[in-house]
Amino acid sequence: MTKATRFLTDQFIKKSTPQAKEYKIGDGQNLHLLVKPNGSKLWLFIYTHPTTKARKKINIGQYPYISLAKAREQRNSFHTLLTEGIDPTEHKAQSHQEAMRQAETLFNFAETQWKPKKAKEVKKRTLDDEYARLKLHLFPLFGHYRLADITLLEAVEKLRPLSITRNSTCSKVVIYFCEIMEYAVICGLLPHNPLYSLSKAFYKVQATHQPTIQPSELPEFLSRLQNSRIMPTTKLLIQWQLLTMVRPAEAVSAEWSEIDFDNALWAIPPEKMKGKKDKPRQHIVPLSSQALAILHEMRLFNGDKKHVFTSQRKPSQPCNSEAANRAITVNIDKGYYKGRLTSHGMRSIASTYLNDCGYNKDLIEACLAHISGDSVRNAYNKSTYLTLRRELMQKWGDYVAECKAHG
């Protein structure tokens, strides 16, 4: 029930007593005071939607916390909107969203919107590595900044020290910083990306190849490895990676369930391979007799475990992907190979030797799990060419065995 419209006064409002049912007292121009049975009094603005003509109401607030004068002021602002064909409720919601957008910080946006979107595009391991880099180098500088407050000049100034000390890391941070800001534009939080040209502010270090040695130096390397005090399982890991020509992370992730001993094959699942998440690819490794021998030795250590090469501290997990590299660069003859060879660089030894032997380059690239836009080269990864790849891998295994014998 709405009582007759009249111009309200504070004195009249204070004398308005609660009844068994709530009732409204009009103040004119769509402003009403709702008196509830419990004695509370609420200001309501009841109006007709300018387009749909539906009846709507807005709760302005409770009296006396919202005074009569304040309620009338709010009513007048609503009428101003209505004369312009704007619904006050929708305008309020849009204003709130705009305020939220203006207050959005870089870290909160990256955490709640960019990261979930990125997780659908790249592999978890890749995202974890990149996000850890942002937490370490970007968020301490700009994480608390509102997106709207980030400027190109300040980004350059704050990232310059990192570009001087760790240029490669800075380049990666800049790429993702710009990507986050670009996604903010797409989400409607920014009118444009102020960091569009940020990468041009820093010089780029030319890409360098992983340090490696020549195939002729392999006998010496294997001899130094054999005579070192490195753990037996780590020595076997290094030889496993050398023989299979895989990357360090792929080598340590090998599981017994992936090994087909009858057919001498190792099937590496797509999620373990380097590459984009939307283009997963399995990699089949033909195992030479020397690689199979490594597995038989490892069965004595980890035959009852999930992984072929397990972590000493956490037997249910594979060992660290840096284990082989650390052993090569630090533990062999007190760092003899530091700057000369890395675990990843062992792939180049195999590539150089097989190319020198005259094998098809595309076949070698397939054994290295290199994928290109060349359909002919990529075809070598398929089972049709497994016989050719098996021959190549055995040739390499025989050479490694020869080097080991004469080292």
Confidence of residue 278 (pLDDT cuts 50, 70, 90): low
pLDDT for 291: 97
| CATH value at residue 14 | 3.30.160.390
Give me the torsion for CA of 347, 290, 314, 342, rounded to 10°: -20
Do 222 and 361 belong together in one domain? Answer: yes
Question: Residue 32 forms beta bridges with which residues?
Answer: 26, 44
CA 243 – CA 218 distance, rounded (Å):
12
> Which residue of the set 75, 347, 389, 404 is catalytic?
347
Confidence of residue 202 (pLDDT cuts 50, 70, 90): confident
Three-state SS annotation for the chain: CEECCCCCCHHHHHHCCCCCCCEEEEEECCEEEEECCCCCEEEEEEEECCCCCCEEEEEEEEECCCCHHHHHHHHHHHHHHHHCCCCHHHHHHHHHHHHHHHHCEHHHHHHHHHHHHHHCCCCHHHHHHHHHHHHHHCHHHHCCCEHHHCCHHHHHHHHHHHHHHCHHHHHHHHHHHHHHHHHHHHCCCCCCCCCCCHHHHCCCCCCCCCCCCCHHHHHHHHHHHHHCCCCHHHHHHHHHHHHHCCCHHHHHCCEHHHEECCCCEEEECHHHCCCCCCCCCCEEEECCHHHHHHHHHHHHHHCCCCECCECCCCCCCECCCCHHHHHHHHHCCCCCCCCCCCCCCHHHHHHHHHHHCCCCHHHHHHHCCCCCCCHHHHHCCCHHHHHHHHHHHHHHHHHHHHHHHCC
Is 78 part of a structural domain of the chain? yes
- 335 vs 208, residue with greater confidence: 335
Do 118 and 229 belong together in one domain? Answer: no
Q: Is 370 a catalytic residue?
A: yes
Do 150 and 46 belong together in one domain? Answer: no
CA 248 – CA 241 distance, rounded (Å):
7
Decide: pTM greater than 0.85: no
> Which residue of the set 247, 305, 377, 390 is catalytic?
247
Q: What single letter denotes the amino acid at residue 380?
A: Y
Residue 273 has pLDDT above 90, yes or no: no
Confidence of residue 282 (pLDDT cuts 50, 70, 90): confident
Confidence of residue 189 (pLDDT cuts 50, 70, 90): confident
CA 84 – CA 279 distance, rounded (Å):
52
Mean pLDDT of 105-109: 94
Question: Residue 265 forms beta bridges with which residues?
Answer: 260, 286
Do 320 and 248 belong together in one domain? Answer: yes
Is 324 part of a structural domain of the chain? yes
| CATH value at residue 112 | 1.10.150.130
pLDDT for 280: 62
Is 98 part of a structural domain of the chain? no
Residue 234 has pLDDT above 80, yes or no: yes
> Which residue of the set 49, 146, 370, 395 is catalytic?
370
Do 258 and 159 belong together in one domain? Answer: no
For residue range 370-406, list pLDDT tens digits in order. Answer: 865 554 444 444 544 788 999 999 999 999 999 999 8
Confidence of residue 275 (pLDDT cuts 50, 70, 90): low
Is 94 part of a structural domain of the chain? no
Mean pLDDT of 58-64: 92
> What does the block give as tokens for 137?
């180098």
pLDDT for 210: 82
Nearest by Cα to 286 from 272, 267, 314:
267
Do 247 and 131 belong together in one domain? Answer: no
Q: Is 344 a catalytic residue?
A: yes
| CATH value at residue 301 | 1.10.443.10
Is 251 part of a structural domain of the chain? yes
Task: Say whether the peptide bond before residue 37 is cis (omega within 30 degrees of 0).
Answer: no
Mean pLDDT of 12-33: 92
Q: Is 247 a catalytic residue?
A: yes
CA 300 – CA 315 distance, rounded (Å):
15
pLDDT for 206: 62
Q: Is 399 a catalytic residue?
A: no
pLDDT for 380: 45
Do 169 and 263 belong together in one domain? Answer: no
Do 31 and 71 belong together in one domain? Answer: yes
Do 79 and 12 belong together in one domain? Answer: yes
Average pLDDT, the chain: 89
Nearest by Cα to 141 from 158, 163, 124:
158
Do 286 and 225 belong together in one domain? Answer: yes
Backbone angles phi, psi at 340, to 5 degrees: -110, -30
Which residues contact residue 228 at a Cβ distance below 8 angstroms, ignoring those fewer than 6 apart?
A: 235, 327, 331, 332, 333
Domain that holds residue 298: 215-405
pLDDT for 103: 76
> Which residue of the set 145, 344, 385, 395 is catalytic?
344
Mean pLDDT of 255-259: 96
pLDDT for 222: 95
The answer to whether the CB of 31 falls within 8 A of the CB of 71 is yes
Is 14 part of a structural domain of the chain? yes
Q: Is 359 a catalytic residue?
A: no
Nearest-10 crossing angle of helices 124-137, 167-186: 100
For residue range 130-143, list pLDDT tens digits in order. Answer: 999 999 999 999 99
Residue 2 has pLDDT above 80, yes or no: no
> Which residue of the set 115, 125, 135, 274 is catalytic?
274
Mean pLDDT of 247-274: 92
- 208 vs 260, residue with greater confidence: 260
Question: Residue 35 forms beta bridges with which residues?
Answer: 23, 41
Is 254 part of a structural domain of the chain? yes
Is 99 part of a structural domain of the chain? no
- 24 vs 4, residue with greater confidence: 24
> Which residue of the set 353, 380, 389, 404 is catalytic?
380
Do 251 and 136 belong together in one domain? Answer: no
CA 348 – CA 354 distance, rounded (Å):
10
The answer to whether the CB of 336 falls within 8 A of the CB of 350 is no
Sheet harboring 55-63: ordered strands across? 2-3, 23-28, 31-35, 41-48, 55-63
Q: How many domains does the chain have?
A: 3
pLDDT for 213: 94
Buried b (16+ CB within 10 A) or exposed e, 88-121: bbeeeeeeeeeeebeebbbbebbeebbeeebeee
Last residue of a domain, one of 61, 87, 113: 87
pLDDT for 205: 64
Do 176 and 287 belong together in one domain? Answer: no
Last residue of a domain, one of 87, 115, 139: 87
Q: Is 203 a catalytic residue?
A: no
Estimate to the nearest angstrom the gap between the alpha carbon of 297 and the chain centroid.
37
